[in-house]
Amino acid sequence: MDTLSQLKDAVLNGEYTKAGPLTEEALKGGADAGSVLNDGLIAAMDKVGELFKAGEIYVPEVLLAAKAMHAGMDVLKPELVKDGVESRGKVVVGTVRGDLHDIGKNLVAMMLEGAGFEIIDLGNDVPAEEFVEAAEKNGAQVIGMSALLTTTMHVMKETVDLLKQKKLDGKVKTMIGGAPVTLSFADEIGVDGYGDDAATAVDIAKKFTGN
Amino acid sequence: MNILDLARSKVVLGDGAMGTMLQKHGLEFGECPERFNLERPEVLRMIHKAYADAGSEFVTTNTFGANRIGLARYGLDERIADIIKNAVASAREAVSGGVLVAGSVGPTGALLEPYGDAAPADVREAFREVGGHLDGEAIDFFVVETMTDVNEALLALEGIKSVSDRPIVATMSFQKTPKGMRTVMGHQPAASAAQLIEAGAAIVGTNCCNGAEEAVWIIEEMGEVGVPVIAQPNAGIPVIEGGNPVYNQTPERMAADVPRLLAAGVRIIGGCCGTTPEHIRAIAEKL
């Protein structure tokens, strides 16, 4: 098996101690940074998303794969910068104000990163103003918001309203997810996208950024 | 009578939600529910009393998140002893006539290694501390609940058992997946139940699942486990009406599934998120 396939398998299987060295090996073997990213790390995380959606794997496997992906990314990042490989787009993510649950948000961030997006992670307990400021400052195309508590979901609407107020709606797309969040809620408050799971969040972000 | 003997002799009626009841009494988003134990214990007494009046044979202390790891997020970790002491006192003062007091033990909210950062020894220690306080306040039994990672549930059992001989009820939250009922961590009802019993749980089952019907599916998947089984489902899935979450399962709708829960072998029935004393009263009529 060639090194890239080995790297892909290592990420897929969550072998986080192997992913870094295999990334190095692939680069040393002459693979360019872009293809290590696309055919190794992103290809693996694509498959992880697919398996997660199908219920073949669950949160621990996704977290381990993401950990492996990050190990590879740490090695790869300087090379990507050197080669001028651009990210797929920038996404601001966070768990909304009043909510300290960040597992779902972290999963989404990892899957997005695994799909080649640049992530601006605001953590948890994030107010509407901070989402919008971060998107403006970083030139992000997407804001992704997560909530686990039904009582915090209104912050999502505040963010949508603030974007409209600043005439940024359309330029910065919004997407939401989390256990209590539903498609009908998303429609009601006027967000641009709703994701049932972390893999769907990637599909939506790809659609929003036109790739 | 202790909970195990009680559940062997008859079907036992538990209580309903605490968190969503506290929201009705002013719990703000982002606020620590256990802060009520320090500042407004009269609200806890009122809720416990309402459940006992509705027929609950045990009430569950407001200590779901009262572990050092969880409380630290609110800067309340040094108040753990008072938080637990007041919670148990509020429950005891509110009920009488043989109504038991169950000590709630929820997850720490930390993810275990290797997929997360929490060292198992630290998590076990957090549960040992909670167990020690609850045991010291003389609860009747423990309810380790809303677990989604069976490994964390096992650490809770280990930690509690190292300081207390009181019976432990252990419940986990499963949801529908393409492969059947699983926790978000992928754990299955039957395998999880076997592990929990092996680790010393006296009673096992499910809580915080999407309605009584899904609880039936979970208990059916769990199969014959050899100990009494408990189900404490949510009042359905919350739907959003006018920006506010509403649990769409009425007491009557939820109670209608009680015969199916009994047919599946459930010996203790209660409720989780969105359930109220009215739900418990409606369930009581079916028993």
Q: Can you tell me the mean pLDDT for B272-282?
A: 96
Structure tokens given for A51: 């398996």
pLDDT(B217) > 90: yes
**pLDDT for the residue A118:** 93
Closest listed residue to residue A207, CA positions, set A188, A194, A196: A194
Instruction: Check if the beta carbon of residue A58 is closer than 8 Å to that of residue B184.
Output: yes
The Cα–Cα gap between B18 and B238 comes to 16
Q: Can you tell me the mean pLDDT for A29-38?
A: 92
Contact B115 A99 (CB under 8 A): no
Report in angstroms the alpha-carbon separations of B49 from A111, B15, B55, B97, B181: 47, 10, 10, 12, 34
**Structural domains present in chain A:** 3-83 (1.10.1240.10), 90-208 (3.40.50.280)
SS3 for A58?
coil
Q: Can you tell me the mean pLDDT for B215-241?
A: 92
**pLDDT for the residue A198:** 84
Name the CA radius of gyration of chain B, rounded: 17
**pLDDT for the residue B102:** 98
Choosing among B20, B69, B115, B174, which should be mutated to test the A contact, i.e. which has the most A CBs within 10 A?
A: B115
List, as one string, the DSSP characters of chain B. Answer: --HHHHHHHSPEE----SHHHHHHTTPPTTS-TTHHHHH-HHHHHHHHHHHHHHT-SEEE-S-TT-SHHHHHTTT-GGGHHHHHHHHHHHHHHH--TT-EEEEEE---SPPBTTTSSB-HHHHHHHHHHHHHHHHHTT-SEEEEEEE--HHHHHHHHHHHHTT--S-EEEEE--EEETTEEE-TT---HHHHHHHHHHTT-SEEEEES-SHHHHHHHHHHHH---SS-EEEE--SS-EEEETTEEEE---HHHHHHTHHHHHHTTEEEE---TT--HHHHHHHHHH-
Percentage of chain A modeled with pLDDT above 90: 63
* Nearest residue in chain A measured CA to CA from B151: A60
Q: Which domain does B201 fall in, by range?
A: 3-286
Q: What is the mean pLDDT of chain A?
A: 91
**pLDDT for the residue A124:** 85
The Cα–Cα gap between A88 and A116 comes to 5
Structure tokens given for A113: 């990163």
The Cα–Cα gap between B195 and A78 comes to 46
Q: Find the CATH number of the domain harbouring B273.
A: 3.20.20.330
Note the pLDDT tens digit of each residue in B71-124. Answer: 998 999 999 999 999 999 999 999 998 999 999 999 998 899 998 889 999 999
Report in angstroms the alpha-carbon separations of B106 from B65, B79, B112, B126, B144: 6, 17, 15, 11, 6
**pLDDT for the residue A104:** 83
Residue written as tokens 């992000």?
A140
Q: What is the mean pLDDT of chain B?
A: 95
Contact A125 B109 (CB under 8 A): no
How many domains, chain B? 1
pLDDT(A96) > 60: yes
- Please tell me whether the peptide bond between B33 and the residue prior to it is cis, using omega within 30 degrees of 0: no
Q: How many Å separate Cα B188 from the centre of its chain?
A: 18
- Read off the pLDDT band of A48 (50, 70, 90): very high
- Read off the pLDDT band of B17 (50, 70, 90): very high
Q: Measure in Å the smallest separation between the Cα of A24 and chain B Cα atoms.
A: 23
Q: Measure in Å the smallest separation between the Cα of A99 and chain B Cα atoms.
A: 6
**pLDDT for the residue A146:** 93
Closest listed residue to residue B185, CA positions, set A69, A52, A75: A52
Q: Which residues of B are less than 8 Å from A101 in CB distance? A: 109
- Beta pairing, strands B175-177 & B229-232: unpaired
The Cα–Cα gap between B168 and B189 comes to 18
Record the pTM. Answer: 0.86
- Contacts (Cβ under 8 Å, ≥6 apart) of B24: none
Choosing among A15, A58, A155, which should be mutated to test the B contact, i.e. which has the most B CBs within 10 A?
A: A58
Q: Can you tell me the mean pLDDT for A9-29?
A: 97
The Cα–Cα gap between B48 and B63 comes to 13
pLDDT(B245) > 70: no
Q: Which residues of B are less than 8 Å from A154 in CB distance? A: 243
Chains A, B: CB contacts within 8 A come to: 70
Structure tokens given for B108: 């720490």
Question: Which range among B26-30, B92-96, B187-191 shows the weakest confidence by mean pLDDT?
Answer: B26-30
Q: Can you tell me the mean pLDDT for A121-133?
A: 93
Contact A184 B177 (CB under 8 A): no
Contact B240 A67 (CB under 8 A): no
Q: Angle between the B41-54 and B80-94 helix axes, to the nearest 10 degrees?
A: 40
Q: Can you tell me the mean pLDDT for B157-166?
A: 98
Q: Angle between the A3-12 and A16-28 helix axes, to the nearest 10 degrees?
A: 160
Q: Can you tell me the mean pLDDT for A173-190?
A: 89
Contact B243 A154 (CB under 8 A): yes
- Read off the pLDDT band of B237 (50, 70, 90): confident
Tell me what ipTM this predicted complex has. Answer: 0.83
pLDDT(A143) > 60: yes
pLDDT(A64) > 60: yes
Question: Which range among B29-33, B82-86, B152-156, B199-203 shows the weakest confidence by mean pLDDT?
Answer: B29-33
Residues in chain B: 287
Contact B238 A150 (CB under 8 A): yes
Contact B30 A152 (CB under 8 A): yes
Q: Can you tell me the mean pLDDT for A97-102?
A: 75
SS3 for A56?
coil
Q: Can you tell me the mean pLDDT for B128-153?
A: 97
* Nearest residue in chain A measured CA to CA from B187: A58
Q: Can you tell me the mean pLDDT for B217-239?
A: 94
Note the pLDDT tens digit of each residue in A105-116. Answer: 988 998 898 888
Q: Measure in Å the smallest separation between the Cα of B94 and chain A Cα atoms.
A: 28
